[in-house]
Amino acid sequence: MRTFLFLFAVLFFLTPAKNAFFDEKCDKLRGTCKNNCGKNEELASLCQKSLKCCRIIQPCGNITD
């Protein structure tokens, strides 16, 4: 029983850190977390709480880094 309570506490406190990781990844990709991506957006990665990281698609002639 103690092992179960210990594992539950560890997983409960690690969840916010894991969620922040996904949001940082989306920020690095210059995307925004949304429920659905628009017509001119592509799915770049996943965010927390089942959201999608959407990034605007750039035309081939306007490539910027």
- The answer on pLDDT for 3 being more than 80 is yes
Q: pTM score, two decimals?
A: 0.55
5 band by pLDDT with thresholds 50, 70 and 90: confident
Query: Rounded CA gap, 25 and 38, in Å?
Result: 20
Query: Rounded CA gap, 4 and 53, in Å?
Result: 34
